[in-house]
Structure 1
Amino acid sequence: MKVRVVSIIMLGLVALCSSFTASAADVLNNIMQRKVVRIAVPQDYPPYGFVGSDMQLQGVDIETAKLIANKMGVKLELIPVTGPNRVPYLQTGKADMTISSLGKTPERAKVIDYSIAYAPFFDAVFGKSNVQASNGGELAGKTVSVTRGSMQDEELTALAPKAVVHRFEDNNSTIASYLSGQTQLVAIGTTVAAALKQKHPGLDLQQKIILSNSPCYVGLPKGSPDLVAKVNAILREAKADGTIDKISEKWLGAPAGNLPES
């Protein structure tokens, strides 16, 4: 009797896994049949994704999402997400892809697929000019704000295990904590720091430590090779005709350069 029960359970698990695989493989077909692509994007991370004065989402990630939807010949549905939930939205089928300044890590690669890179991104620790922090050791005991689950969170944790890290659920809260003096330092992207300086003239925000050069990739459901191939083809064409460089120049102030293919 126990053998039969175990067999039934195992068959059920196999069927469930098969259904997940089939569902992931069918993402591209579903998009084309629906004639709508649902893309998760940031709304609080300038210049990659933020709400403009016209109350519309804009930035590098939003323009890249528009490019992909246009080349696929489907309508675009933007789905605002935060750092912690952009991957779960893919895993649970709430989004067909995520374009949210997403870096590539071995841990994420276990649960999602990636496109080729579409934009550059540097991570760094910033703080006031009078705060001494030129290496991981000098971060010991110092307070640093960072967005939970972000690349900066992972990099900071590895570099400075003795830092006093204040983790926040979204980028606005991370930045606000530094601006209000709750923390001495903040771990963000260099382009985000540039946008902050532009928004707050005279802000004392000096680059202290480069954490990494982490280009941005489109995140895609695990086991969706057709969709990965489609997105990669669109991005390669956009790189070749200069569209990727134009988007980068508009929002980041420089061409995208030689972005990695893996």
Structure 2
Amino acid sequence: MKRRTFLAGGLAAASTLAMPALADTLDTIKSRKKLLVALDLGSPPFGMTDAAMQPTGSDVETARLLAADWELPLEIVQVTSPNRVPFLLTGKADMVIASFSVNEERQKVIDFSDPYGVIQAVIAGPKDREVKDYAAVVGKRLGTTRGSTNDKEATARAQGAQMVRYDDDATLITAMVSGQVDMVATSPQVMNTANARKPPAPFETKIVMRTFPYAIGIRKGETKLQAALNEWVRKNLRNGKLNTIYKTYHGSDLPAEMLA
């Protein structure tokens, strides 16, 4: 689970992994009568465990909604940000529902459904720290989640920062709360989760690096599965169920253009 390579290198390596002999995944799911979904339970509020140590979060509820609509039991395959693509390519899961932002590098290796949410990649820091531009990050300990889009964007944009990479969002949040980093490259959702745990100084968004849609990740060439997922996403955006899940865990509605 620990990977020392940068996201692009990790994706390139993942693309060379030996692919198992798989039938069409949608047919496999139907014949197996079970849905295997890769979920990151260390990425609140997308995936986490509750007080009873049960999976919860917006992605968990999205996967549960999909399984219910397809009338299948759900099996959660736990992943971290760096191993989402390898787990998918080696057939350990049918799909990935794990705040999986769509970007050009990932699209070279895997395919995606239509987006079902949006996420920002931001630089966040204590409210009392003035950050006007990336120059303010030079020499600072900038925490991020290894292999994430935030890692990629910060590495490219915040040059001169001392990058401190953690294996999952939960560990990054602990670092924020315990004052191990000066600033972070993350999402507003992770920042809000850290603030709820009362760090030494509350964090706020300083720089929005980029806004990404996120979607369900699948293996390339799975046209039947992709079509079925796209139909499911469109249906549940129109009926408001995906927006309800998003608002419950993220505190705001999805962009209006997604719901039209």
User: What's the TM-score once normalised by structure 1's chain length?
Assistant: 0.87
2:186 corresponds to which residue? Answer: 188
Partners of 2:55 and 2:255 in 1: how far apart?
25
Q: Deviating runs (4+, > 4 A) in structure 1?
A: 19-22
Secondary structure in 2 aligned to 1:155? helix
In the alignment, which of 33, 37, 40 is matched to residue 39 of structure 1? 37
C-alpha contact (below 8 Å) 1:245/1:257 kept by paired residues = no
C-alpha contact (below 8 Å) 2:112/2:216 kept by paired residues = yes
Deviation of 1:120 (Å): 2.1
1:229 corresponds to which residue? Answer: 227
Q: Does 1:161 align with 2:150?
A: no
Partners of 2:149 and 2:239 in 1: how far apart?
30
Alpha-carbon distance change, 21 to 222 in structure 1, aligned in 2, over 3 angstroms: farther
2:134 corresponds to which residue? Answer: 136
Alpha-carbon distance change, 129 to 254 in structure 1, aligned in 2, over 3 angstroms: closer
Partners of 1:161 and 1:95 in 2: how far apart?
36
In the alignment, which of 85, 88, 93 is matched to residue 86 of structure 2? 88
Deviation of 1:26 (Å): 0.8
Secondary structure in 2 aligned to 1:100? coil
2:215 corresponds to which residue? Answer: 217
1:22-49 deviation digits (Å, cap 9, x = unpaired): 72x6111100000111001111111111
Partners of 2:143 and 2:193 in 1: how far apart?
17
**Which protein has the larger Cα radius of gyration, Structure 1 or Structure 2?**
1
Deviation of 1:251 (Å): 0.9
Partners of 2:254 and 2:130 in 1: how far apart?
32
C-alpha contact (below 8 Å) 1:145/1:183 kept by paired residues = yes
C-alpha contact (below 8 Å) 2:179/2:200 kept by paired residues = no
Amino acid at match of 1:148: R
Deviation of 1:203 (Å): 4.3
Alpha-carbon distance change, 259 to 165 in structure 1, aligned in 2, over 3 angstroms: farther
Q: Which has the higher strand share?
A: 1
Task: Could you tell me which runs of 5 or more consecutive residues in structure 2 were left unpaired when the two chains were aligned.
Answer: 1-15
Deviation of 1:230 (Å): 0.6
Secondary structure in 2 aligned to 1:247? helix
User: What's the TM-score once normalised by structure 2's chain length?
Assistant: 0.87
Partners of 2:39 and 2:152 in 1: how far apart?
21
In the alignment, which of 45, 65, 80 is matched to residue 67 of structure 1? 65
C-alpha contact (below 8 Å) 2:43/2:170 kept by paired residues = yes
C-alpha contact (below 8 Å) 2:145/2:169 kept by paired residues = yes
Give the alignment's Cα RMSD to 1 decimal: 2.1
Alpha-carbon distance change, 219 to 259 in structure 1, aligned in 2, over 3 angstroms: farther
C-alpha contact (below 8 Å) 2:141/2:183 kept by paired residues = yes
State how 1:191-210 maps to structure 2 within 5 Å.
191-200=189-198, 203-210=201-208
In the alignment, which of 234, 243, 246 is matched to residue 245 of structure 1? 243
Task: Could you tell me which runs of 5 or more consecutive residues in structure 1 were left unpaired when the two chains were aligned.
Answer: 1-16
Secondary structure in 1 aligned to 2:123? strand
Deviation of 1:20 (Å): 5.2
Instruction: Figure out how many residues of one structure are paired with residues of the other and give that number.
Output: 243
C-alpha contact (below 8 Å) 2:178/2:200 kept by paired residues = no
1:203-250 deviation digits (Å, cap 9, x = unpaired): 421221112111221101111011111111111000111111111111
Deviation of 1:118 (Å): 0.8
Q: Does 1:127 align with 2:125?
A: yes
1:7 corresponds to which residue? Answer: none
Partners of 1:245 and 1:173 in 2: how far apart?
28
C-alpha contact (below 8 Å) 1:136/1:159 kept by paired residues = yes
